[in-house]
Structure 1
Amino acid sequence: MPDEQRQRILVLCDESGMGLGGVPVFNEQISMALAARGHDVTLLTVKQVQGGHEGVTLRTVQPAPENIEGRHWLEQQVTTQHPTAFGLPDPREQSFDLIIGHSRFSGPAAVAIRDTWYTEARVTHFLHTSPERLPGFKYPNNPARAAEKAARDSSIEQVIMNRADVVVGVGPLLTEEARKLASTNPQVPTSHELVPGTAIEPLVQRAQQQNGPLQLLALGRADDALKGFEDAAQAVKLLNDRGVAVHLTIRGVPDAKVPDLQQRFSQLGGGNVTVLSFSTERDAIRNDIRRADAVIMPSKHEGFGLVATEALGHGVPVLVNEDSGAARFLQDANRIAPELGIPCVVPEPADPSLRVAKWATAVHQMKEQLPERIAQASQLREILKSYSWEHAATSLVQASVTAPAPATGASAAQQAHATVQGPEGTVLLSGSPPGIPPTQRGTATTVTLTVNQTIQVTQQMTQSTQASQPTGPHPQPPIAKAAALTSRGRRGTATTAQGTGSNHQGSASQARPQIPQPPKPQGPSH
């Protein structure tokens, strides 16, 4: 582990692994990458992990009652049960250096377990979706519901960010969102732009292109309107009606819904769409990608879009929606040559009724330029070798360990530290204040941070033992604990939580002031 010190890392996620959604897949990959870098990684979940997660120590809380969401139960458990009940170390004997939470799904639990038990640890908080924008896409015909959910979810993220030491955006788009949300808090932590890793697979070898249909592949939930598959199917029909042979395969349908969705997409696509059931088999997905001429991601909005980089890891051409983190990454001239990245991005029309036509045009161009696009995808695959999951893990640890204390005061948003992930996991200082979109900030300064630049401790923790183990028969609403915490259990202050025997090298953050609790969620939050 050159230039890295072994860190004790606790990752919290309500569930983790292939086939459970974007956040669980991301969590598995980054956890394994951290372990592969030599760090001591423990993962605490609600649902039992099924396979994978090589090198990661797995722990679970008590099973959640049927009427309680996993993320709420996780927060309740880590604040009312002693960590040893889950197989975690006794805080009086050993702490963690870093605790990682994922958005509102496990972020509240991450800050809660740090403030209650492992008070010397730093908290790194991931933002995986845009809480302000996503509801508008999910509920386009119900503005009131969209506005209520946006306000609620944004408040949850802001409360967590006010308690975190570092906020991490998954890709450029979400980093912009994270900086914007964090900038409204009394204390603004360091922000870091992380690039999700790409697994580099054997390069797809193709014979000379024949006159058959262009084979497109889309991966994701076909019953989720946000994914834009209906627009893609209609674009396929439009092209075939014009004599341009194109076929679309959609992988991502629950078994019970396959017949109905096959019928619907066959109608939308003029019989040129095949719907396949969801698969948790990695080899099945790899084979789908390798058989495709191109992989498309027609989502109306996507925080990042791991599908795009996964396909490029095989050297398979992609088309992605403009309103996505993957598009921002591919259009970043500091990372990727414009002639390689820009052709992958489908512009988002101001008039949604023109979306089908835009995608039809992009797919037609892909078919006409396929040999050139394949060559470009091969070059993109070479570039992405510098953005593996292990590179992402390296940048994550370095950015977290070297982060200074959160900025405070009237100009906190302008003074807050901001970094971005460069090639090979380097950490570069961002050249502009939070809130500036990555496409406008200019080239990041070429200052590489190392773990040896850890911040000096400004205060020493006053250790004391906890009088009694907390109890609570009923789970509290989301972030109730996180929002209510003031200086309790926080390093640099007198604490009622159990002290640790760790001499952590990170900066000692000041006690974080209480901020208002967000509205109580009503019903499912998905």
Structure 2
Amino acid sequence: MDASRNELKQIRSLSLSYIIQRFRSDPQLDTDGWHQYLDENVNVGIVATSQGLLLAKKFKIIDENKIKIEKALNTVLKIQRDDGGWAYKTNLNDRSSSEPTSWALICLCEFYGLELIDKKDAIVESVYKGITWLLDNLANNAWGMTKDDNQRIYTSALVLDCLRKIIEKIPVNGMQKQSIEECIENASNWIISIQNSDGGWGEYKGKQSTCFHTACVLDTVFTFKKELLRSKKKAIDFLCSNFNEAFFWHQNQNSGLLEIISIDLKRVHHYHLTNVRVIKSLLSVDADIDKLINNVISSLISEGQEKDGIWHHPQLGDKITMWAIYDVLMCLDLWYEKGRSDKTENPSNGEKLAMLTTGKEEKTEVDSGKIILIADSWGTKLGGINSFNYDFCRALGLVSTPRIVCVVKEATPLDIAEANQSKVTLIPLDIGSEQIDASRSYEIIDKVKKIDKGSILWWVGHDTITGEVALKCREQLKEGKCAIIHHMSYPSYYPIKYSKGISSAAKEDVQRKVFTHADRVFAIGPKLRLSAEELRRKQDIIEIIPGLTEEISPSCNSSGIFSAIVFGRLDSNNEIIKQGKLAVKAFARAFKNNPCSFGNEFPRLYVMGLEAGDSYEEKCDELRILASQEAGRLVSIIAVPYCEDRNKIFENLSLRDVCIMPSWHEGFGLVGMEAIAGEVPIIISKNSGLYEMIKDKCGSPGLGCIKAIEIKGSFGDEAFSEDDLEQLTTALLEIASDKARVKSGAKSLKNMLLSKNCTWENAAQTFLSKLDLEVARVI
């Protein structure tokens, strides 16, 4: 790219000079500013005037144009409507709308505190009124043009940008700030929740994805929701897959060139340039596709040079609009600020993806090596370790320079395709339910070597489940090192779970051998780190914190019926550890002791994890009888078998008022992290890695957002003590009697953990760095 700062300045100077020349006054309405059609002598509009002012502030041309700028700013202030909003001049001019209101407020925020034009008091008063209008016109966590309109992506993204600007620039009181932050959180979660399966967004929920609307989300939500790695990647992939070399994104069928909204038989046109919005969004999220970005930027600079700082919308002929000039100038400025003009020589992984979409595939292959992870299954089958491996592998695939390969017993074509989306190569051994033990090493090596000729850097095993075979692969191939991830502290709970100590001793011996011979040992959370240090007899264990999943959308139990959920494999062997019956009995006792705390309807307890089979109905009856005997009345206990459908699990979890995790021992407690991700309050055992992690990361503020109880357990007729029962009963009643406060605490805890980088991306980056491997920039 030959464009220099001077070339950009020259183009920008021509653009700004033209805009200032097109400043107009309307003596009849006593307004001054601009209209979107800069080349026509029509009325002054609020959106164009706001954009003109924003350009003047951004590029520091206020001083030489002070009279015009002050008049325009006065116009923005005085045409605010009594309800606090702003209306379009030529469309829907009889009522306030979200778009002109947002643009006006963004403009006022930028001019707040500017010494050259001192309007501080008037701006604050106007912004406060505008905040009220925006919050009053929120409909189901998002915005349309008006409150009775559909919730729209472009409009909601614009309002989010506006509200974040208000918090950043304007002094708002604590209550106002809290209300605004809640709106931002809820609206951004709603937007993420309606992402289409192709990775994009349409005009509103359920509409076909367009590049324009997808870019709007990237440019706003993902600039502050940085933990949503997977959703962001899908959006970037959607934009790359819709790139057309000849016309970039403009003439693609999914471009969303001109969003047209029909309200009351009037049409509102958004004259954004799709190419520019896409590039600006990719720059905003630091997408690693510099060559593609620079190609589009080059065309914009060329057009600006040819037309003296003017750009035209492809569907508006020769009309000159403020939209086009505003969008291009802001995009070019961001491109230069990001320093992307220097990055044109060596294509990254992201650029290779873009080349593939345009038929320009790189022919030179560089061996960056492979990391081979070995697990039972792909997905959530068989419980916690596989669930961890699933999220962990997908995060590794997105940030790792070496290729990520996962070996499993079985995999369907859908599993393989899904893994591939996260740049994970899934290799099934096709061995059904047979174990992946050390005898499978030759088979694994053979399949791995067939995928490419690249070198193997690391073999990764999960504790005793696949740790031995990972070590065996390293030993036999004599290539690569071996890392083990510690998931279970057998000495901590096996003597309780099984009466014969020999079972525990045998498991402990295997763990000690595996950990001792590994080149690196990782542990899930602080509790398991201490366990691994004891087994390995070294202080070199590396702690990994599982991330907060992006795949569970926070929800609200709008029915008003109190509902709780408890997870775990609730069979006879696991009862003394998982304490499922304790949860059932405590729930029943809480209802008996204070039914008023649960409202007018009977509360519900969802028990997920019963063994399917002939004894299923018998187990269901056993739990119902246990609850009814304790409560002295019928209690709604909804018991279901263990579920392997992740989406159903998350949907069920997100709707509950509390997630109960009363385990006597829990090495970590991944379900608890999933509940936190869904902003579901949790009751957890103090004898859990999750409790220790929250204490370590967040201290007292974090512990104040949960209910933590100390489970003593019992070898008596019941697996719990009376004190255990009373503690859990009290915790349930405290949550039921103050649901709003507890729900707010759950949201605060999630935000605390996100501020501590508790994301899967960070877990993957930590892992790679401790293996002395390069972390790639995420596209």
The two structures have a TM-score, normalised by structure 1, of: 0.67
Report whether the alignment pairs 1:358 with 2:727: yes
Q: Find the aligned partners of 2:444 and 2:740 in 1 and give their Cα distance.
A: 59
Please report how far the alpha carbon of residue 47 of structure 1 lies from its aligned counterpart in structure 2 after TM superposition.
3.0
Q: Find the aligned partners of 1:113 and 1:12 in 2 and give their Cα distance.
A: 11
Match of 2:747 in 1: 378
User: What aligned pairs does 1:102-501 form with structure 2 within 5 A after superposition?
Assistant: 102-119=462-479, 121-139=480-498, 142=499, 145=500, 147-183=501-537, 188=538, 190-200=540-550, 201-205=552-556, 210=560, 212=561, 214-223=562-571, 224-225=574-575, 226-244=577-595, 245=598, 246-256=603-613, 257-270=615-628, 271-272=634-635, 273-332=637-696, 335-350=697-712, 352=714, 353=721, 354-385=723-754, 386-401=757-772
* Cα distance change of structure 1 residues 314 and 343 upon mapping to structure 2, 3 Å threshold: closer
SS of equivalent to 1:259? helix
Q: Find the aligned partners of 1:367 and 1:374 in 2 and give their Cα distance.
A: 11
**Structure richer in strand, relative to its length:** 1
Q: Find the aligned partners of 1:83 and 1:289 in 2 and give their Cα distance.
A: 40
Deviations 1:62-118, CA, capped at 9 Å, x for gaps: 637x7xx5032xx1121x45823x242599x54311211001110001111011104
Unaligned ranges ≥5, structure 2: 1-286, 289-347, 350-366, 629-633, 715-720
* Cα distance change of structure 1 residues 191 and 292 upon mapping to structure 2, 3 Å threshold: same
SS of equivalent to 2:541? strand
Match of 1:28 in 2: 390
* Cα distance change of structure 1 residues 376 and 6 upon mapping to structure 2, 3 Å threshold: farther
Q: Find the aligned partners of 2:445 and 2:591 in 1 and give their Cα distance.
A: 60
SS of equivalent to 1:202? coil
CA contact (8 A) 1:327 1:345 kept: no
Please report how far the alpha carbon of residue 148 of structure 1 lies from its aligned counterpart in structure 2 after TM superposition.
0.8
Please report how far the alpha carbon of residue 351 of structure 1 lies from its aligned counterpart in structure 2 after TM superposition.
6.5
SS of equivalent to 1:190? coil
Deviations 1:211-247, CA, capped at 9 Å, x for gaps: x4x3111122222312111011111121122133443
CA contact (8 A) 1:43 1:56 kept: yes
Q: Find the aligned partners of 1:349 and 1:300 in 2 and give their Cα distance.
A: 5
Match of 1:429 in 2: none
CA contact (8 A) 2:375 2:406 kept: yes
Runs of 4+ in 1 over 6 A off after TM superposition: 1-5
Q: Percent identity?
A: 20
Q: Find the aligned partners of 2:405 and 2:710 in 1 and give their Cα distance.
A: 41
CA contact (8 A) 1:299 1:321 kept: yes
Report whether the alignment pairs 1:63 with 2:431: yes
Deviations 1:136-155, CA, capped at 9 Å, x for gaps: 2312xx2xx1x211211111
CA contact (8 A) 2:407 2:426 kept: yes
Counterpart AA for 1:99: W
CA contact (8 A) 2:374 2:461 kept: yes
Q: Find the aligned partners of 2:429 and 2:584 in 1 and give their Cα distance.
A: 43
Aligned residues: 382
SS of equivalent to 1:302? coil
* Cα distance change of structure 1 residues 263 and 62 upon mapping to structure 2, 3 Å threshold: closer
The two structures have a TM-score, normalised by structure 2, of: 0.46
Please report how far the alpha carbon of residue 343 of structure 1 lies from its aligned counterpart in structure 2 after TM superposition.
4.8
Please report how far the alpha carbon of residue 331 of structure 1 lies from its aligned counterpart in structure 2 after TM superposition.
1.7
Deviations 1:465-494, CA, capped at 9 Å, x for gaps: xxxxxxxxxxxxxxxxxxxxxxxxxxxxxx
Match of 1:11 in 2: 373
CA contact (8 A) 1:161 1:167 kept: yes
Q: Find the aligned partners of 1:77 and 1:373 in 2 and give their Cα distance.
A: 49
Match of 2:411 in 1: 48
**Which structure is richer in relative contact order (CA contacts within 8 A, separation 6 or more)?**
1
Q: Find the aligned partners of 1:361 and 1:242 in 2 and give their Cα distance.
A: 10
Q: Find the aligned partners of 2:390 and 2:578 in 1 and give their Cα distance.
A: 23
CA contact (8 A) 2:663 2:711 kept: no
After superposing the two structures, state which structure 1 stretch, 48-57 or 215-224, moved more.
48-57
CA contact (8 A) 2:369 2:455 kept: no
Q: Find the aligned partners of 1:44 and 1:451 in 2 and give their Cα distance.
A: 22
* Cα distance change of structure 1 residues 375 and 6 upon mapping to structure 2, 3 Å threshold: farther
Q: Find the aligned partners of 1:7 and 1:168 in 2 and give their Cα distance.
A: 21
Please report how far the alpha carbon of residue 366 of structure 1 lies from its aligned counterpart in structure 2 after TM superposition.
1.5
SS of equivalent to 2:581? helix
Larger radius of gyration, structure 1 or 2?
2
Counterpart AA for 1:364: L
CA contact (8 A) 2:468 2:514 kept: yes
Q: Find the aligned partners of 1:14 and 1:169 in 2 and give their Cα distance.
A: 18
Match of 1:88 in 2: 449
CA contact (8 A) 2:547 2:759 kept: yes
